[in-house]
Amino acid sequence: MTAVQQHSSPEQATFGAGCFWGAEAAFRALPGVLDSRVGFARSATGTSEQIEVVQVDFDPAVITYSRLIEHFWTLHDPTSVDRQGADVGVKYRSAVFYNSAEQADLAAAAKQRLEDSGQLGKPVATVIVPLGEFELADEDQQRYLEKHGASSCSI
């Protein structure tokens, strides 16, 4: 008799870290990330601002939501308001869009730990908001860096 493998139900995380192409490539490289896609998100709080995001499907038995957030901090400057490098505007805002109260709590705790560490020298500007609407970017935007043999957003 063969053992039946137990798999966790995939979970989803959504992050805004400036250029969504770079974030998508960085998250896809993590063990436990099952899939990702780029698009635009709005908060469920009623604002009409769209933010470039990467939406990540992950196996929580392999990688935790907390680990994804820790990786998110390394992908961009979370102290920058509405700007990442040469990309300027609300759509490049640093944001964590949560799907549950647990994700909200984990994101808030991670943000507080980062602020308390003092390693950034400035307050963390990342907003933590409920995910409202997600709009998938066009197919030519998906896995853009991979398709173009690039390793960063400045191509």
CA distances (Å), 130 to each of 51, 88, 142, in order? 13, 23, 23
Among residues 12, 15, 16, 19, which one is catalytic? Answer: 19
State which H helix or E strand residue 105 sits in: helix 101-117
Known active-site residue 153: no
Q: Which residues of 120-151 are buried (b: 16+ CB within 10 A; e: fewer)?
A: eeeebbbbbbebeebeebeeebbbbbeeeeee
Q: Which residues are catalytic?
A: 19
